[in-house]
């Protein structure tokens, strides 16, 4: 009884500490997280659509999912590199890399979309 | 003067082949027939048959089978279009004809009539074997039928049989029904069941058997019943036609003129069916009938007229061919509704029956299958009694080019939307990221 109660308490305490820690992150990182969430959500919609309707233009499906996943990955890279604790690159350089990689990604997507 | 003479001789000799009135693809009926006989008495005892052939325009040449001057070909050219062997007892042919020469003659597309008889020699039996039939091995055997024999004044040994077991084919036997039975006296033969080129035209009744009429039977006969064929035909794959029968007397004037009454039936026919039967079947053998030719194979995309060098998958195309039938004097349009065309690559991907326009033009249209490779348009037409048509035209089929695929597929709109929304999101996000504090 006491064990259960304490594990439940532990879970709640963990959850609360995560929430407060997250509230303390800077706003621009939260914006990037929102962007990542949007990309992953779009990818999930596409997968559900393919599961119901079938994979007929498979190249279009792959292209759509790849654009979402690629966007999410590049945004995560940007988030890591823009963090104040990351000392390897200046944040401007990180953003420039992000933009260039996104341009290449979208070029590939447009070609593969059919 | 000498030069002029040489030139005129040369020009005449160039024109000579065209003056020959011979069997050619343009006029497939045979013209010149060589008739090999055992002795010239056959020429007069079978005169009705020979005269009927002459009256249809054939040039007959009668020679003895062992005449030392006979030849089927000279300097590589065949002298005759068809050969009639009315010499059942010949042991060796004279001149340059022998077993191999006869086989080559048939292999080059010429027709043959073989009449064996109860004293048939080994040579004639071998020619029959090569054509696909096997005569009874016993040299003194004849076909005996104690139930379907022909009634005659003298009590015979029932070797003269009256048969009306004919193949049911209007194209081989003519459209007029042969009412009277056909008189037959001779040896029977059997057909190899695996051979699908040889056909029984006149078969013996189920009560017939092949045995020596003069001696008592010690063992049951091997050749019995409807397996005995009295008259057979072969249409070879090169469209040579062969008629094989085990009797020479069936062609004789005596049998043509005599009346016939089948034992057990009350109808007495004034005239036997021999003349009508043999006339009709000789029309078939000598290509006066049922000879087809296919010309003008055309194919093109629906909507265009010229023939492309290759097609693309999922193209609509049209295929047409003209088929004519020789009527004895001219080419008439062939009318049938079972001519099929295949679009074939290792196996037929498309098999369609062609429709005709009553003037001999057969056509159909279909969609190229979704497979690329090198296909063939194949027409394989084999109908009983007709020459076989075997046409084949190769055509490659290519896959889609990179710009021939479908675009803007409605089923893929969510994916297009997702990709564009990602682009818009990236654009907006980069602004927000740069201009936020």
DSSP labels for B161-222? Answer: EEE-EE---HHHH-SS---S-EEE-S--EEE-TT-SSEEEEEE--TTEEEE-TTS--SS--S
**B422: which chain A residues are within 8 Å (Cβ-Cβ)?**
39, 42, 67-68, 71, 106, 109
Instruction: Please give, rounded to a whole number of angstroms, the shortest distance from the CA of A61 to a CA of chain B.
Output: 6
Interface list for chain A against chain B, based on CB atoms closer than 8 Å: 27-28, 31-32, 35, 38-39, 42-43, 45-46, 49, 53, 56-57, 60-61, 63-65, 67-68, 71, 75, 78, 95, 98-99, 102, 106, 109-110, 113-114
Residues B19-26 have a mean pLDDT of: 56
**B432: which chain A residues are within 8 Å (Cβ-Cβ)?**
31
Residues B399-403 have a mean pLDDT of: 90
| DSSP 8-state code for residue A88 | S
**B403: which chain A residues are within 8 Å (Cβ-Cβ)?**
none
CA torsion sign, B428 to B414 to A50 to A103?
negative
pLDDT at B22: 44
Name the nearest CA neighbour of B370 among B404, B400, B412.
Answer: B400
Which of B263-277, B279-293, B298-312 is predicted least confidently? B263-277
Q: How confident is the model at residue B20 (pLDDT cuts 50, 70, 90)?
A: very low
**A42: which chain B residues are within 8 Å (Cβ-Cβ)?**
418, 421-422
Beta carbons of B411 and A28 less than 8 Å apart: no
| DSSP 8-state code for residue B308 | P
The pLDDT tens digits for A31-83 are 999 999 999 999 999 999 999 998 888 889 999 999 999 999 999 999 999 88
Question: How far is residue B390's CA from residue B382's CA, in Å, rounded to a whole number?
Answer: 9
Half-sphere exposure at residue A88, Cβ-oriented, CA atoms within 13 angstroms: 5
Q: Is a pLDDT exceeding 90 seen at residue B320?
A: yes
Question: B413 to chain A: nearest residue by CA?
Answer: A60
The pLDDT tens digits for B97-136 are 888 999 999 999 899 999 988 888 888 888 888 888 888 8
What percentage of chain A's residues is helix, strand, coil (to nearest 5)?
Answer: 85, 0, 15
Q: Is B432 on the interface with A (CB under 8 A)?
A: yes
Triad B288, B289, B294: Cα angle to 5°: 110
Question: How far is residue B205's CA from residue B87's CA, in Å, rounded to a whole number?
Answer: 27
Q: Where are the beta strands (DSSP E) in B111-169?
A: 111-115, 133-135, 142-145, 161-163, 165-166
* More reliable by pLDDT, B11 or B181: B181
B283, B194 in Cβ contact below 8 A? no
Question: How far is residue A30's CA from residue B369's CA, in Å, rounded to a whole number?
Answer: 55
From residue B40, give the alpha-carbon distance in Å to each of B37, B156, B282: 7, 28, 21
Name the nearest CA neighbour of B203 among B174, B172, B182.
Answer: B182
Stretch 401-420 of chain B: residues touching chain A, C-beta under 8 Å: 405-407, 409, 411-412, 414-416, 418-419
**B435: which chain A residues are within 8 Å (Cβ-Cβ)?**
none
Question: How far is residue B147's CA from residue B204's CA, in Å, rounded to a whole number?
Answer: 11
Question: How far is residue B371's CA from residue B313's CA, in Å, rounded to a whole number?
Answer: 6
Beta carbons of A64 and B409 less than 8 Å apart: no
Beta carbons of A99 and B414 less than 8 Å apart: no
The pLDDT tens digits for B63-86 are 998 888 888 888 888 989 999 999
Phi-psi region of A12 (alpha: psi -120 to 50; beta: other; left: phi over 0): alpha
> How crowded is residue A35: how many other Cβ atoms within 10 Å of its Cβ?
24
pLDDT at B156: 75
Name the nearest CA neighbour of B277 among B198, B190, B167.
Answer: B167
ipTM for the predicted complex comes to: 0.89
Instruction: Please give, rounded to a whole number of angstroms, the shortest distance from the CA of A114 to a CA of chain B.
Output: 6
**Nearest neighbour of A42 by CB, restricted to B412, B421, B430:** B421
Q: Which helix (H) or strand (E) is B78 found in, with range?
A: strand B77-78
B349, B343 in Cβ contact below 8 A? yes
The residue of A53, A58, A67 whose CB has the most chain B CBs within 10 angstroms, and thus the best one to mutate to test that interface, is A67
pLDDT at B21: 42
Token readout for A16 is 């609360």
Q: Is a pLDDT exceeding 90 seen at residue B214?
A: no
Q: How confident is the model at residue B272 (pLDDT cuts 50, 70, 90)?
A: confident
B245, B231 in Cβ contact below 8 A? yes
Beta carbons of A35 and B429 less than 8 Å apart: yes
Q: What is the mean pLDDT of chain B?
A: 87
| Bridge partners, B36 (sequence order) | B63, B85
From residue A98, give the alpha-carbon distance in Å to each of A111, B106, B112, B153, B391: 20, 85, 90, 118, 65
Beta carbons of B415 and A60 less than 8 Å apart: yes
Question: How far is residue A74's CA from residue A40's CA, in Å, rounded to a whole number?
Answer: 12
pLDDT at A3: 64
| DSSP 8-state code for residue A16 | H
* More reliable by pLDDT, A104 or B39: A104
Question: How far is residue B117's CA from residue B184's CA, in Å, rounded to a whole number?
Answer: 11
Helices A58-82/B413-435 angle, 10° precision: 10
With b for 16 or more beta-carbon neighbours within 10 A and e for fewer, the B195-209 pattern comes to: eebbbbbbbbbeebb
Instruction: Please give, rounded to a whole number of angstroms, the shortest distance from the CA of B430 to a CA of chain A.
Output: 8
- With the CA atoms of B29, B34, B37 and B43 taken in that order, what torsion angle do they form, in degrees rounded to the nearest 10? 70
**B437: which chain A residues are within 8 Å (Cβ-Cβ)?**
27-28
Q: Is B430 on the interface with A (CB under 8 A)?
A: yes
**Nearest neighbour of B433 by CB, restricted to A38, A63, A95:** A95
Name the nearest CA neighbour of B226 among B165, B308, B139, B267.
Answer: B165
Q: What is the mean pLDDT of chain A?
A: 89
| Bridge partners, B27 (sequence order) | B24
| Bridge partners, B115 (sequence order) | B245
Helices B413-435/A91-113 angle, 10° precision: 170
Question: A70 to chain B: nearest residue by CA?
Answer: B422
Beta carbons of B422 and A39 less than 8 Å apart: yes
Token readout for B352 is 């369609």
B377, B350 in Cβ contact below 8 A? no
- B421 Cβ contact partners less than 8 Å away, ≥ 6 residues apart: A42
**B426: which chain A residues are within 8 Å (Cβ-Cβ)?**
71, 102, 106
Instruction: Please give, rounded to a whole number of angstroms, the shortest distance from the CA of B436 to a CA of chain A.
Output: 7
A37, A68 in Cβ contact below 8 A? no
The radius of gyration of chain A from alpha carbons, rounded to an integer in Å, stands at: 19
Question: How far is residue B320's CA from residue B298's CA, in Å, rounded to a whole number?
Answer: 5
From residue A14, give the alpha-carbon distance in Å to each of A3, A6, A26, B127, B421: 16, 12, 21, 104, 36
């Amino acid at each position: 009884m006491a064990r259960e109660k304490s594990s439940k308490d532990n879970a709640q305490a963990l959850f609360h500490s995560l929430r407060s820690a997250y509230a303390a992150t800077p706003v621009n990182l939260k914006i990037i997280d929102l962007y990542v969430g949007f990309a992953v959500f779009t990818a999930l919609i596409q997968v559900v659509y393919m599961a119901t309707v079938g994979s007929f233009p498979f190249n279009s499906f792959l292209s759509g999912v790849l654009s979402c996943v690629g966007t999410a990955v590049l945004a995560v890279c940007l988030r890591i590199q823009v963090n104040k604790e990351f000392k390897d690159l200046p944040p401007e350089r990180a953003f420039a890399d992000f933009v260039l990689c996104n341009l290449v990604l979208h070029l590939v997507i447009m070609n593969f979309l059919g | 003067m000498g030069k002029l003479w040489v030139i005129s001789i040369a020009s005449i000799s160039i024109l000579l082949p065209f003056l020959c009135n011979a069997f050619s693809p343009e006029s497939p009926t045979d013209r010149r027939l060589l008739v090999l006989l055992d002795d010239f008495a056959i020429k007069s005892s079978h005169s009705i048959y020979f005269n009927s052939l002459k009256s249809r325009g054939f040039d007959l040449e009668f020679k003895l089978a062992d005449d030392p001057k006979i030849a089927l070909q000279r300097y590589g050219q065949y002298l005759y279009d068809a050969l009639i062997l009315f010499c059942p007892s010949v042991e060796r042919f004279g001149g340059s004809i022998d077993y191999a020469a006869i086989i080559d003659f048939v292999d080059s597309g010429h027709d043959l009539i073989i009449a064996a008889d109860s004293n048939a020699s080994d040579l004639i039996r071998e020619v029959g074997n090569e054509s696909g039939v096997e005569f009874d091995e016993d040299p003194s055997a004849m076909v005996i039928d104690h139930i379907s024999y022909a009634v005659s004044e003298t009590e015979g040994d029932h070797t003269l049989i009256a048969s009306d077991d004919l193949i049911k084919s209007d194209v081989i036997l003519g459209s007029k029904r042969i009412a009277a039975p056909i008189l037959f006296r001779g040896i029977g033969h059997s057909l190899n069941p695996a051979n699908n080129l040889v056909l029984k035209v006149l078969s013996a009744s189920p009560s017939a058997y092949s045995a020596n009429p003069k001696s008592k039977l010690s063992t049951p006969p091997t050749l019995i019943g409807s397996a005995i064929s009295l008259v057979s035909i072969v249409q070879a794959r090169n469209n040579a036609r062969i008629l094989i029968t085990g009797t020479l007397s069936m062609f004789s004037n005596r049998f043509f003129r005599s009346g016939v009454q089948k034992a057990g039936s009350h109808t007495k026919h004034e005239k036997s069916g021999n003349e009508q039967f043999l006339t009709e079947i000789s029309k078939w053998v000598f290509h006066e009938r049922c000879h087809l030719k296919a010309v003008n194979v055309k194919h093109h995309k629906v909507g265009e007229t010229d023939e492309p060098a290759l097609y693309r998958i999922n193209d609509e195309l049209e295929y047409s061919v003209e088929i004519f039938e020789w009527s004895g004097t001219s080419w008439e349009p062939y009318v049938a509704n079972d001519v099929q065309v295949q679009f074939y690559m290792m196996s037929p991907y498309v098999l369609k029956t062609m429709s005709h326009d009553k003037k001999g033009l057969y056509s159909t249209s279909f969609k190229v299958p979704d497979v690329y490779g090198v296909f063939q348009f194949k027409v394989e037409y084999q109908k009983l009694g007709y020459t076989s048509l075997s046409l084949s035209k190769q055509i490659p089929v290519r896959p889609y080019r990179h710009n021939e695929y479908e675009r803007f597929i409605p089923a893929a709109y969510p994916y297009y939307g997702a990709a564009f929304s990602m682009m818009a999101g990236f654009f907006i996000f980069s602004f927000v990221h740069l201009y936020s504090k």
